[in-house]
Amino acid sequence: MEIMNRWRKEPGARLQGSRPLDSSKVQAPCIVRVPAGGYRLFYTAVGPAKPFATCQGYILSAFSQDGLEFQTEPGIRLAPQPALRHMALRVLAPTIVQCGDGRWRMYFESRGSANRPTVICSAVSDDMLQWEHEDGIRLQGFAGVGGPRLLALTNDRCRLYCFASEFLSETGGQADRRSSQSVVSTVSPDGLNFEFEPSYRMRDKQADYDTAGITAAEVIRPRASGEDWTMFYSAWQDAPAGTVVPPHPSLDRDAATAGVSVDFATASIASDVAGYRSRIYVASSPDGLTWQRGDCVIEGAGYGGEGIDAVHAEDMSLVEIDTGEYRMYYAACDRAGNWRIASAVRNSGQ
């Protein structure tokens, strides 16, 4: 796993808000290699052109021939549906796989009002541009699940890693309600019906850097028998004691119950930069189930520091760009609260 610890950040941003659909906030990238050539980057966004007043986010896309310079594509790939209680406000954190019939399936975190647990849903597409939401919920449980990352296994089976929330209190503030956010896994024979695997893949609150939970975990299978599996995961560190953190709007039960339309992006960014930190770490496993934590591979300079990822580096998505070489795309937030998509490449040199 030592080689997976060495990453070189690439200058600048791969994507930042540039239009009314995404000018307020961009997060949670998913990179896909296009069979005809190039790369498509899916990402969560919100802006003044949101489709309805209480909308908290949707999924957009951008295309690049080289994986570095991206051009946004018109329109919304997938939006929340107010008529569906579990998908009424926000869809985010896509992960995409090509099906056996040539179509593409997207799994994504789905959010309704703050008093409903988050769930994972899916959509299908022939061209990765027009997506049709599939009925039902692919995965639900705990006090909410999200941040899905799909991994193909053998014999058409797949494993989905995601976070699982557990709340100690349903009446307290944000810190009480989101008391734990650990990584779990599920398996499916068909990509539609998933069952939880026993126990946890990665528990949070095991180190000082993950006191506010783990938001995503992406796994790379070993190339040869006897090699380890590799996981990259993004962990949040809680704000220092005594810090006044404004409630995140997605957890604002009173606003959701009253149907209040808040400036979601402004309120969420205020919470993001109120003392929290997020970083990206690596872990190894002999079987994809039992994991040993490793080092931090991506982090910023910290509060007051320079760089587009000074405060947050999270929700990574990886693509193989050459045999055994990878580029990692990740959500980055600077000290002023600007969210962008950044990238790093695995440094296999001396």
Any idea which architecture 2-7+78-342 has in CATH?
Answer: 5 Propeller (2.115)
pLDDT surpasses 70 at 94? yes
Q: What is the pLDDT of residue 169?
A: 57
Q: Are strands 132-133 and 277-285 parallel, antiparallel or unpaired?
A: unpaired
The 180-188 sheet, strands edge to edge: 145-152, 158-166, 180-188, 195-196
pLDDT digits (tens, 9 = 90+) for 160-188: 999 999 875 555 444 444 578 999 999 99
Percent of all residues in the chain with a pLDDT value above 70, rounded to a whole number: 91
Closest CA to 246 of 337, 164, 334, 182: 337
Residues 332/308, Cβ–Cβ less than 8 Å: yes
pTM to 2 decimal places? 0.93
Sequence-ordered alpha helix ranges (H) in the chain: 174-177, 253-258, 264-272
42-56, 71-85, 167-181, 213-227, range with the lowest pLDDT: 167-181
> What is the domain partition of the chain in residue ranges?
2-7+78-342
pLDDT digits (tens, 9 = 90+) for 260-301: 445 888 989 998 999 999 999 999 999 999 999 999 999 999
Torsion angles phi and psi, residue 220, rounded to 5 = -115, 125
The DSSP-derived string for 88-128 is: SSEEEEEEEEE-TTS-EEEEEEEE-STTS--EEEEEEESSS
Q: What is the pLDDT of residue 131?
A: 98
